[in-house]
Chains A and B, each alone.
Chain A
Amino acid sequence: MPTLIELKDGVCKGVEDSFTHVADDAEIPDGDVILSLTRFQTDGDRLLSAGRRVGVRLEPHEEVEALAYDLPRLSVVAPAFPKYRDGRAYSNARVLSERFKFKGQIRAVGDVLREQAGFMARCGFNAFEPADDASANEWQAATHRFRHVYQRSSDAHAPAFVERAS
Chain B
Amino acid sequence: MYQYDSIDKAMLADRSAEFRGQVARRLAGELNEDQFKPLRLMNGLYLQLHAYMLRVAIPYGSLNSTQLRKLAWIGRTYDKGYGHFTTRTNLQFHWIKLRDTPDILDALASVDMHAIQTSGNCIRNTTTDPYAGATAEEVDDPRVWAEAIRQWSTLHPEFSFLPRKFKIAITAAAKDRTAAKVHDIGLMLKRARDGALGFEVIVGGGMGRTPYVGPTIREFLPVNRLLSYLEAILRVYNRHGRRDNIYKARIKILVAALGKDEFARQVDAEWAKIGEDADLPDTELARIRGAFAATRFEVLPAQSEAFEVARAETPAFARFVRNNLKPHKKSGYGIVEISLKGIGDTPGDASSDQMDVVADLAQLYGQDDIRVTHEQNLVLPHVKLDDVPKVWAALAEAGIATPNINLVSDIIACPGLDYCALANARAISIAQHIAEKFRDPDRAENVGELKIKISGCINACGHHHVGHIGILGVDKKGEEFYQLTLGGSGAEDAAVGSALGPALPYDKVAEAVDTLVEVYLRQRQDGERFLDTFRRTGVAPFKEAVYADAH
Which residues from B are CB-within-8-Å of A119?
A: 155, 157-158, 160-161
Inter-subunit contact A152/B11 (CB<8 Å):
no
Bound CA–CA A128/B347 (angstroms) = 48
Which residues from B are CB-within-8-Å of A115?
A: 38-39, 42
Per-residue CB contact flags for chain A residues 127-156 toward chain B (1 = under 8 Å, else 0) read 000000000000000000111111111000
Which residues from A are CB-within-8-Å of B281?
A: 161, 165
Bound CA–CA A94/B274 (angstroms) = 11
> Contact partner of A88 among B18, B156, B238, B273, CB < 8 A?
B238
Residues 297-317 of B contacting A (Cβ, < 8 Å): none
> Contact partner of A122 among B15, B152, B157, CB < 8 A?
B157
- Give the total of B residues in contact with A, Cβ under 8 Å: 37
Residues 57-100 of A contacting B (Cβ, < 8 Å): 60, 63, 84-88, 90-91, 94, 99
Residues 24-73 of A contacting B (Cβ, < 8 Å): 60, 63
B14: CB under 8 A from chain A?
yes
Inter-subunit contact B158/A152 (CB<8 Å):
no
> Contact partner of A90 among B5, B158, B284, CB < 8 A?
B158
> Contact partner of B158 among A94, A145, A163, CB < 8 A?
A94
Q: How far is the CB of B239 from chain A (nearest CB, A)?
A: 5
Which residues from B are CB-within-8-Å of A146?
A: 11, 14-15, 155
Inter-subunit contact B284/A161 (CB<8 Å):
yes
B419: CB under 8 A from chain A?
no
> Which of B42, B121, B239 gathers the greatest number of chain A CB atoms within 10 Å?
B239
Bound CA–CA A149/B235 (angstroms) = 19
A160: CB under 8 A from chain B?
yes
Which residues from B are CB-within-8-Å of A118?
A: 155, 157
Given A91-B235, A161-B284, A164-B287, residue A84 in contact with residue B161 (CB < 8 A): yes
Given A91-B239, A161-B281, A164-B5, residue A151 in contact with residue B39 (CB < 8 A): no
Q: How far is the CB of A71 from chain B (nearest CB, A)?
A: 16
B295: CB under 8 A from chain A?
no
Inter-subunit contact B161/A148 (CB<8 Å):
no
Given A122-B157, A146-B14, residue A87 in contact with residue B38 (CB < 8 A): no
Inter-subunit contact A151/B152 (CB<8 Å):
yes
Inter-subunit contact B151/A160 (CB<8 Å):
yes
Which residues from A are CB-within-8-Å of B111?
A: none
Nearest CB in chain A to that of B11: its residue: A148
Given A91-B238, A160-B151, residue A86 in contact with residue B287 (CB < 8 A): no
B243: CB under 8 A from chain A?
yes
Inter-subunit contact A85/B157 (CB<8 Å):
no
Which residues from A are CB-within-8-Å of B5?
A: 164
Residues 35-75 of B contacting A (Cβ, < 8 Å): 38-39, 42
Nearest CB in chain A to that of B152: its residue: A151
> Contact partner of A91 among B15, B158, B277, B287, CB < 8 A?
B158
Bound CA–CA A147/B155 (angstroms) = 12
Inter-subunit contact A152/B278 (CB<8 Å):
yes
Q: How far is the CB of A157 from chain B (nearest CB, A)?
A: 10
Q: How far is the CB of B112 from chain A (nearest CB, A)?
A: 14
Inter-subunit contact B38/A84 (CB<8 Å):
yes
Inter-subunit contact A163/B7 (CB<8 Å):
yes
Bound CA–CA A99/B271 (angstroms) = 12
Given A94-B158, A163-B7, A164-B287, residue A151 in contact with residue B151 (CB < 8 A): yes
B394: CB under 8 A from chain A?
no
B203: CB under 8 A from chain A?
no
Nearest CB in chain B to that of A90: its residue: B158
Bound CA–CA A150/B455 (angstroms) = 36
Bound CA–CA A164/B286 (angstroms) = 12
Nearest CB in chain B to that of A159: its residue: B151
Q: How far is the CB of A113 from chain B (nearest CB, A)?
A: 9
Bound CA–CA A8/B354 (angstroms) = 54
Q: How far is the CB of B164 from chain A (nearest CB, A)?
A: 11
Nearest CB in chain B to that of A146: its residue: B14
B154: CB under 8 A from chain A?
yes
Which residues from A are CB-within-8-Å of B151?
A: 150-151, 160-161
Given A164-B284, A164-B287, A165-B283, residue A150 in contact with residue B155 (CB < 8 A): yes
Which residues from B are CB-within-8-Å of A151?
A: 151-152, 156-157, 227
Bound CA–CA A90/B88 (angstroms) = 27
Which residues from A are CB-within-8-Å of B154?
A: 150
Known: A90-B160, A119-B157. 10 other contacts (CB 8 A): A88-B238, A90-B157, A91-B239, A115-B38, A119-B160, A123-B158, A147-B14, A148-B14, A153-B158, A164-B5
12 A–B contacts, CB within 8 A, in A order: A87-B158, A87-B162, A90-B161, A91-B239, A116-B161, A123-B158, A146-B14, A150-B151, A152-B278, A160-B151, A161-B281, A161-B283
State the B residues within 8 Å of A (CB): 5, 7-8, 10-11, 14-15, 17-18, 38-39, 42, 121, 151-152, 154-162, 227, 235, 238-239, 243, 273, 277-278, 280-281, 283-284, 287
